[in-house]
């Protein structure tokens, strides 16, 4: 039990970010004049996790599982339906826009698509410098120019590129501009929303190395959202797997890849192709039948049960809560050994 | 096995205001009957254009196939009239496109889109074609095909749309299917389903497959042979095991080393290929990869290295390929 507390509980001060029972429902409306909510899309449904200072939490899942919505809720780009988002011990959901603004200096986001996330009418320099103006961080024109140049240097671009427009850059370079923009306000915490999935393979590695260097240099904390499990393993300290609005498993990186417990995580890992025909042919492949159900009408009970290879009748009763079954390894599946005897529950 | 397709010295250029884009610049390869060939490269390397050239679907202007031969089943496709070509397309060679949402017609029912080729190429009656369409949907694993066939593309999910595309490609029993990034828009678990389906159908019916992808992992398991393309040229080709186990071009080696792998212990740092792919309007003289290459020697700047034999069926266009042999 002592070990459990060390690994699992930790001290609250270590947590830079703690998300408790986050729910984000998007209403589906009907009617022309009087729009009534007729149903809810449960994009994120009762998600809890924490991110420790200086670590990278990888958030993986397939499209539509709610990983991007979770990231946006954390930054208050969406107002969550319910739940708490504690950042430095302050619940961001209770802040008004005015009080939220200084918090935004500490948390930034890198978007997925470097083609649509940069304003085509602004130069690279003015994109990177805009946060400095908004937050009043540059006192003079010279200081502003110097800081923009410094940021370009940090992300591996040349200073003279500040006067160019986004279309003059390649995909990898554009993503570097996005990174420089996020770094401009010296944040502590960054949400990286699929930062490499739009890039070519040879360029992906360049950007991942850049993100890792920056983390070391500026002691950043990342929430790294991606669907590529090999990239997530490379960059993350801990990994959370999402399915249809729920976190189904969280564990340390080595633990989750060596010993995945949830049947969905197992299937997901087995589906990743490996660039070696001999090794790939030897691996056991779990082919899931069917597709991800609609979050508008999620299945009753465990959301994964219609596709689960090891489903039992109890699975249809209720969504199992996330429980710690091994030190630091949480899972929400009643058929995992050790699940029935709860020792510690996540927040 | 007989050779089904021979591409000889194919050059497809695009004549734009910015200059001549040499999208495909002297590509040659063969495809045996029933074989699966992986065509791998990054965006802009010419892999899709080389496939569209086989189908003669290059928009002209600005594109033009300026040289080469594409011999399919003993006949040169580039010498055929548009009418002859229409009888080949969708009948003997068919295509599966990357984006299943944009490549299906949103205002026609799935049935109409499936029966069109059947009526056109096989001369089926409408009712026969309708029954055949249901059978094909069933074959690609779409549940409840009688009901689904009446529906429209927006009522299908991404994976299901890709299955519809595959059903369409299969409908006239083609000899060759060209799949252009068939799984790129799909999730990993769905990607695995679609790849298994395509490989299974290709084995069952003896259809040859050309799978175009940027992901080396996707074709590792399914391709018999792999061609690696860079800046409009094939820079290495060989059977799948040789390409993955004994890569002999610095670019192939770089691609394999730059991706994190789930089956190997985690490395501290990734090993990327530095720099950017060249601009296809101004391809540098000599080897187009030399500016990003760690092994470049003086000779690389002077001549373009030809594809040279390394082992049976394995060749690489690099002057230092002999030195890249694994140390063991």
CB contact under 8 A, A277 and B43: no
Q: How confident is the model at residue A298 (pLDDT cuts 50, 70, 90)?
A: confident
Residue A2 has pLDDT above 50, yes or no: no
Cβ–Cβ of B259/A204 closer than 8 Å?
Answer: yes
C-beta separation of A187 from A168 below 8 A: no
Nearest-by-Cβ selection for A271 from B188, B241, B263: B188
Model confidence at A91: pLDDT above 90: yes
Of the candidates A173, A227, A235, which has an alpha carbon nearest to the alpha carbon of residue A209?
A235
Residues in contact with A7: Cβ distance below 8 Å, sequence separation at least 6, in sequence order: A327, A328
How much is the pLDDT for B110?
Answer: 92
Digit-coded pLDDT (tens) for B220-232:
888 899 999 999 9
**Looking at CA atoms only, how far is residue A131 from chain B in angstroms?**
29
In chain B, residues with a C-beta closer than 8 Å to the C-beta of A243 are none
The mean pLDDT of A291-320, rounded to a whole number, is 88
Q: Is A208 on the interface with B (CB under 8 A)?
A: yes
Among residues of chain B, what percentage have pLDDT more than 70? Answer: 99
pLDDT at A10 exceeding the cut of 50: no
Is B256 at the interface with chain A, CB within 8 A? Answer: yes
- Single pTM value for the model: 0.85
Q: Which residue in B191, B270, B277 is closest to A209 by CB distance?
A: B270
pLDDT of residue A176: 92
Contacts of residue B244 in chain A, CB cutoff 8 Å? 275-278
Cis-peptide, bond into residue B61, ω within 30° of zero: yes
Q: Using CB atoms, which residue from A253, A277, A288 is nearest to B244?
A: A277
Exposure of A99 by Cβ count < 10 A (0-12 exposed, 13-18 middle, 19+ buried)? exposed
For residue A119 the two structure tokens come to 């304003």
pLDDT band at B266 (very low <50, low <70, confident <90, very high): confident
pLDDT for A4 beyond 90 = no
**Mean of pLDDT values over B288-299:** 88
Q: How confident is the prediction for chain A on average, in pLDDT? A: 87
Q: Is B144 on the interface with A (CB under 8 A)?
A: no
Of the given ranges (B102-106, B209-213, B313-317, B323-327), which has the lowest mean pLDDT? B323-327
Say whether B259 and A205 touch across the interface (CB within 8 A).
yes
Mean pLDDT of A180-193: 94
Residues 6+ apart with CB under 8 A from B313: B225, B237, B238, B239, B242
Element (H, E) at B2: none
Band (pLDDT 50/70/90 cuts) for residue A12 is low
Kindly indicate the confidence band of residue A240, based on its pLDDT and cuts at 50, 70 and 90. Answer: very high
Give dist(CA B111, CA B137) in Å, integer: 10
CB pairs below 8 Å between A and B: how many?
126
Q: Among A32-46, A128-142, B165-179, B195-209, which is the least confidently predicted range?
A: A32-46
Structure token pair of residue B22: 């040499």
Across the interface, do A234 and B196 touch by the CB < 8 Å criterion?
Answer: no
Give the pLDDT score at A249: 95
Q: Does B266 touch chain A (CB under 8 A)?
A: yes
B155 touching A, CB under 8 A?
A: no
Average confidence (pLDDT) over A69-84: 92
Q: Give which of B263, B153, B73 is closest to A278, Cα–Cα.
A: B263
Q: Does B126 touch chain A (CB under 8 A)?
A: no
Using a CB–CB cutoff of 8 Å, tell me whether B270 touches chain A. Answer: yes
Cβ burial, residue A216 (10 Å; 0-12/13-18/19+): exposed
pLDDT at A128 over 80: yes
Each residue's pLDDT tens digit, B197-227: 888 888 888 899 999 998 888 888 888 999 9
Whether the predicted pLDDT of B291 surpasses 90: no
Establish whether the linkage from the previous residue to B62 is cis, with ω within 30° of 0.
yes
Nearest Cα residue in chain A from B271: A205
Which among A317, A272, A8 is positioned nearest to B259, based on CA atoms? A272
Q: Identify the burial level of A339 via C-beta atoms within 10 angstroms of its C-beta, where 0-12 means exposed, 13-18 middle and 19 or more buried.
A: middle
pLDDT attached to residue A1: 33
d(CA A23, CA A34): 25
Other beta carbons within 10 Å of A345: 12
Q: Over 90: is that where the pLDDT of B312 sits?
A: no
| Banded pLDDT at A8 (limits 50, 70, 90) | very low
pLDDT of residue B327: 53
| φ, ψ dihedrals at A193, nearest 5° | -95, 95
Residue A234 in contact with partner chain B when CB distance is under 8 A: yes
SS3 state at B146: helix
Contact status, residue B213 vs residue B40, Cβ threshold 8 Å: yes
Task: Kindly list the residues from chain B whose CB atom is less than 8 angstroms away from the CB atom of residue A203.
Answer: 272, 276
Query: What number is the average pLDDT over the span B302-319?
Result: 87
Query: How sure is the predictor about A5, in pLDDT bands with cuts at 50, 70 and 90?
Result: very low
Question: pLDDT tier at A285 (50, 70, 90 boundaries)?
Answer: confident
Is A231 touching B (CB cutoff 8 A)? yes
Going from the C-alpha of A48 to that of each of A55, A219, A250, the distances in angstroms are 17, 24, 10
pLDDT band at B1 (very low <50, low <70, confident <90, very high): low
Query: Which residues have C-beta within 8 Å of that of residue B287, sequence separation ≥ 6?
Result: B293, B296, B300, B301, B304, B305, B317, B318, B319
- Nearest residue of B to residue A237, measured between CA atoms: B266
Q: Is the CB of A202 less than 8 angstroms away from the CB of B240?
A: no
B80 reaches A (C-beta below 8 A) = no
Are A276 and B246 spatial neighbours (Cβ–Cβ below 8 Å)?
no
In this prediction, residues A228-233 reach a mean pLDDT of 90
| Distance, CA of B301 to CA of B286 (rounded, Å) | 5
């Amino acid at each position: 039990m002592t070990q459990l507390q060390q690994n699992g509980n930790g001290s609250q001060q270590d947590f830079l970010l703690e998300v408790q029972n986050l729910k984000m429902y998007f209403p589906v409306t009907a009617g022309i004049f009087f729009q009534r909510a007729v149903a809810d899309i449960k994009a994120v449904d009762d998600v809890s996790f924490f991110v420790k200072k200086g670590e990278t939490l990888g958030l993986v899942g397939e499209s539509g599982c709610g990983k991007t919505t979770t990231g946006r809720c954390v930054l208050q780009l969406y107002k969550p339906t319910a739940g708490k988002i504690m950042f430095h011990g302050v619940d961001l959901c209770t802040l008004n826009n005015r009080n939220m603004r200084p918090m935004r200096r500490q948390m930034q986001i890198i978007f997925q698509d470097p083609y649509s996330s940069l304003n085509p009418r602004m130069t690279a320099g003015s994109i990177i410098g805009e946060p400095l103006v908004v937050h009043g961080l540059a006192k003079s024109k010279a200081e502003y120019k110097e800081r923009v140049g410094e940021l370009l240097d940090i992300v591996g671009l040349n200073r003279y590129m500040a006067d160019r427009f986004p279309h003059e850059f390649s995909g990898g370079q554009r993503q570097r501009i996005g990174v420089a923009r996020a770094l401009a306000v010296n944040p502590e915490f960054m949400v990286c929303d699929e930062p490499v999935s739009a890039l070519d393979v040879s360029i992906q590695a360049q950007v991942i190395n850049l993100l890792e260097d920056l983390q070391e240099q500026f002691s950043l904390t990342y929430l790294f959202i991606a669907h590529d499990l090999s990239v997530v393993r490379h960059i993350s300290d801990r990994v959370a797997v999402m399915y249809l609005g729920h976190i189904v498993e969280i564990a340390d990186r080595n633990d989750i890849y060596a010993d995945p417990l949830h049947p969905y995580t197992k299937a997901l890992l087995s589906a990743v192709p490996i660039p070696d025909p001999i090794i790939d042919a030897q691996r056991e492949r779990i082919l899931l039948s069917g597709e991800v159900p609609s979050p508008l009408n999620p299945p009753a009970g465990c959301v994964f049960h219609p596709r689960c290879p090891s489903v039992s009748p109890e699975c249809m009763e209720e969504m199992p809560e996330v429980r710690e079954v091994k030190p630091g390894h949480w899972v929400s599946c009643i058929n995992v050994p050790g699940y029935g005897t709860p020792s510690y529950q996540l927040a | 096995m007989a050779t089904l397709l021979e591409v000889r010295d194919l050059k497809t250029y695009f004549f734009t205001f910015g200059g001549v884009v040499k999208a495909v610049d002297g590509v040659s390869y063969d495809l045996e009957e029933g074989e699966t060939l992986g065509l791998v490269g990054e965006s802009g390397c010419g892999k899709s254009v080389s496939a569209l050239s086989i189908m003669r679907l290059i928009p002209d202007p600005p594109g033009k196939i300026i040289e080469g031969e594409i011999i399919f089943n003993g006949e040169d496709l580039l010498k055929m009239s548009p009418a002859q070509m229409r009888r080949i397309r969708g009948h003997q060679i068919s295509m599966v496109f990357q984006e299943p949402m944009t490549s299906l017609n949103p205002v026609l029912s799935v049935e109409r889109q499936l029966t069109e080729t059947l009526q056109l190429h096989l001369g089926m009656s409408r009712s026969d074609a309708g029954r055949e369409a249901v059978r094909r949907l069933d074959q690609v694993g779409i549940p409840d095909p009688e009901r689904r066939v009446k529906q429209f593309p927006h009522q299908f999910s991404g994976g299901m749309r890709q299955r519809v595309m595959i059903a369409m490609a299969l409908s006239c029993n083609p000899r060759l299917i060209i799949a252009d990034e068939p799984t790129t828009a799909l999730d990993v678990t769905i990607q695995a389903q679609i790849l298994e389906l395509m490989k299974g159908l290709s084995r069952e019916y003896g259809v040859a497959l050309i799978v175009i992808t940027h992901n080396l992992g996707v074709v590792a398991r399914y391709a018999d042979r792999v061609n690696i393309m860079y800046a409009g040229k094939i820079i290495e080709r060989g059977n799948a095991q040789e390409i993955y186990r004994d890569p002999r071009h610095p670019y192939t080696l770089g691609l394999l080393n730059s991706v994190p792998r789930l089956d190997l212990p985690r490395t501290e740092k990734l090993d990327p290929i530095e720099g950017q792919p060249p601009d296809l309007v101004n391809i540098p003289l000599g080897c187009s990869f030399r500016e990003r290459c760690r092994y470049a020697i003086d000779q690389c700047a002077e001549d373009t290295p030809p594809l040279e034999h390394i082992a049976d069926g394995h060749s690489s266009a690099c002057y230092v390929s002999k030195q890249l042999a694994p140390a063991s």
